Amino acid sequence: MSSDFHVHGPHDHEVEHAAEHGAGGMVGQLAVITAILATIGAIFSYMGGATQADAALAKNDAAIRKTEASDQWNFYQAKNQRQVIAELALDIVPADRRDAYAKNLEKYKADKEPIMAKAKALEDEAAKFDEQSEHLMHQHHRWAAATTVIQVSIALAAIALLTRRRWLEWGTLGVASVGIAIGVAAFFKL
């Protein structure tokens, strides 16, 4: 038995015809344009996802610093309450026991300063991470917009190919240029 029998579908016929007779100028151009745009779109999409992940990490770091700052402020308040109790004790305990409370009072006062400094430093770090996250999300939105515009230009290329309208091919290039410009703006963090 021989396997000389082969059924061709319409797509197979068109591919063979294009291979035998060469893809027409517009068809070949749009195929190359579409492949290039798909590659650019994939890169933009990857960059958009990467910047979104970086923004989420920065936001997470900000939340961690805010929690650490809150812990430090709670510790500061505990020292402050102990200081107030020591001050009150100085007024109500007998004179022979006041020295111990005076020492505690000075200790609590001294302990509070580094705790407050650490809490403020953590708040500053949290603010920097929040700002970094906002910048990264802005950049992510640029990448997402660039990807979307590139996808629209690919759709236009398909419509141009189906309708064989040369002006749609030019429209494809125009829209793609806008998408690439937005991607360049994202790359340069504008």
Residue identified by tokens 């779109």 is: 41
Angle between helices 98-163 and 166-187 (to 10 degrees): 160
Q: What is the pLDDT of residues 125-148, one digit of tens each?
A: 999 999 999 999 999 999 999 999
Please, which contacts does 26-31 make with residues 24 or more away whose CB atoms are closer than 8 Å?
26/160, 26/161, 26/164, 26/166, 26/169, 27/161, 29/169, 30/157, 30/160, 30/161, 30/169, 30/172
Bigger pLDDT: 24 or 19? 24
Indicate the DSSP class of residue 4: -
Q: Which residue has the higher pLDDT, 14 or 150?
A: 150
